Amino acid sequence: MNEPQDWKQLKLVGGQPCLDFVNTVDRDGERYSQDWFRDTIDVIGWAQSVGLLSSAQAEALLRQVQQQPEQSVKFFNQAIQLREALYRIFSAFAAKRSQTADDLQLLNTLLSEMQGHLRFVAVNSSFTWEWAETNQLDFILWQIVRSATDVLTSSDCDRLRECAGVGCGWVFLDFSRNRSRRWCDMEDCGNRAKANRHYERKRKK
C-alpha cells in the first residue's frame, strides 16, 4: 500500500492556483515549519489536484521524471524558487511593503518564457488563448506565473491578505463582506488564536 501523500491533506484556501501554490508551506518567520512538497512528483500531483494538469498530462510528466531525473531536480529547484519569490511578492503587497527587484525580475523572466508558449486562436465565433506546449514540466510554472500576474493586475488585488496565524504565512483573497478575514482557515489558525487568547486570559486571572 502506498503511503498517503502529504499534499493531499492541504486545504485550498487561497482562491487562485498561484496562492494555493504559495500555501504548500507553513512559515514561521524565515523558517519552514512544514513543506508539503518533497519532490517534482509531489508538484505534479498537486498541480493535477488543483486542475492545472489533466490526468493524461500528469502521467506524461511523471514519465518524464523517470526518464530525466536530472531535469526533474532542476525543475523542482526552480519551482521552489518561484514559490519563494511569489510568497515575498504577495506578503509584501498585503502588508503594503515595497517589492524586491529580484523577485519581480524572476517573475518577468518566467513570464516572457511563458508568453512564447501561448497562442491566440479563433474558436467558433470568438478568440481565446491556448497553450502551444503542455508536455513539459515548466507548463506547471507558466500557469502559476499567469495566475499570479492575473491576480496582481486584477481589481481583487487589494483583497490579498497573509494569514495572521503564528507559524502560518498562507496567503488568500479576502472576499468576506466587510473585508475582515484574518485567518487562512477558521478551523486551523482561527481556532488556534482563539485558544491562545483564552489561555492568556485564564493565566492573567
Q: Which is nearer to Zn ion, 17 or 165 (CB)?
A: 165
CB of 29 to Zn ion, least distance (A): 14
Measured from the CB atom, the residue of 110 and 189 that comes closer to Zn ion is 189
Task: Give Rg (Cα) of the chain.
Answer: 19
Query: Cell numbers 492568556 label which residue?
Result: 200
Per-residue x/- mask for Zn ion, residues 11 to 30, rule CB under 5 A? --------------------
Around Cβ 184, how many Cβ atoms within 10 Å?
25
Query: Where do the H-state alpha helices sit in the chain?
Result: 17-22, 40-49, 55-67, 69-94, 101-115, 138-153, 191-204
The span of 10-18, 42-50, 112-120, 160-168 binding Zn ion (CB under 5 A) equals 160-168
Place of cell 521524471: 65
For the chain, the residue count is 205
DSSP secondary structure of 103-134:
HHHHHHHHHHHHHTTEEEEEETTEEEEEES--
In angstroms, what is the minimal distance from the CB of 139 to Zn ion?
Answer: 29
The smaller minimum CB distance to Zn ion, of residues 12 and 62, is found at 12
Stretch that binds Zn ion, among 49-57, 76-84, 141-149, 189-197 (CB under 5 A): 189-197
Q: Are strands 126-131 and 31-35 parallel, antiparallel or unpaired?
A: unpaired
184 binds Zn ion (CB under 5 A): yes
Nearest to Zn ion of 65, 184 (CB atom):
184
Binding to Zn ion (CB under 5 A) within 66-105 occurs at none
When asked if residue 163 is in the footprint of Zn ion (CB under 5 A), the reply is yes
**Site for Zn ion (CB under 5 A): how many residues?**
6
Could you tell me which residues come within 8 angstroms of residue 71 by beta carbon, excluding any fewer than 6 positions away? 64, 137
Please answer whether residues 24 and 140 qualify as being in contact, where contact means their C-beta atoms are separated by less than 8 angstroms.
no
Please give the residues from 123 up to 142 whose contact with Zn ion meets the rule CB under 5 A: none
Q: How far is the CB of 163 from Zn ion (least distance, A)?
A: 3
Site membership for Zn ion, residue 189 (CB under 5 A): yes
What residue ranges bind Zn ion (CB under 5 A)? 163, 165, 168, 170, 184, 189
